[in-house]
Amino acid sequence: MTGTAVPERIRRAVAALDVRAGDRLLEIGCGGGVAVGLVCPLLTTGTITAVDRSATATARAVRRNADSIRDGRATIATAAFAEPGLTTAGLADRRFDKIFAINVNLFWTGPAQAELALATRLLASGGALYAFYEPPGERLDELAAKVTGTFEAGGFATQVLRLSAPVVGIVGRP
In a domain, 2, yes or no: no
In a domain, 36, yes or no: yes
- For 4, the 3-state DSSP assignment is coil
pLDDT digits (tens, 9 = 90+) for 98-113: 999 999 999 989 899 9
**Residues spanned by the domain of 114:** 8-173
Percentage of the chain surpassing pLDDT 90? 90
DSSP run (H or E) holding 52 = strand 47-52
Residue 137: pLDDT over 80: no
158: domain CATH number is 3.40.50.150
In a domain, 134, yes or no: yes
- Residue 126 sits at φ, ψ, to 5 deg, of 85, 0
- Model pLDDT, residue 111: 92
For residue 115, count other CB atoms closer than 10 A to its CB.
21
Number of domains in the chain: 1
- Kindly report the average pLDDT of the chain as a whole number: 95
- Model pLDDT, residue 1: 46
Residue 108 has, within 13 A of its CA and on its CB side, a CA count of: 23
In a domain, 3, yes or no: no
Give the Cα separation of 82 and 104 in Å (integer). 14
- Model pLDDT, residue 87: 95
Give the Cα separation of 9 and 132 in Å (integer). 8
In a domain, 1, yes or no: no
In a domain, 96, yes or no: yes
pLDDT digits (tens, 9 = 90+) for 37-67: 999 999 999 999 999 999 999 999 999 999 9
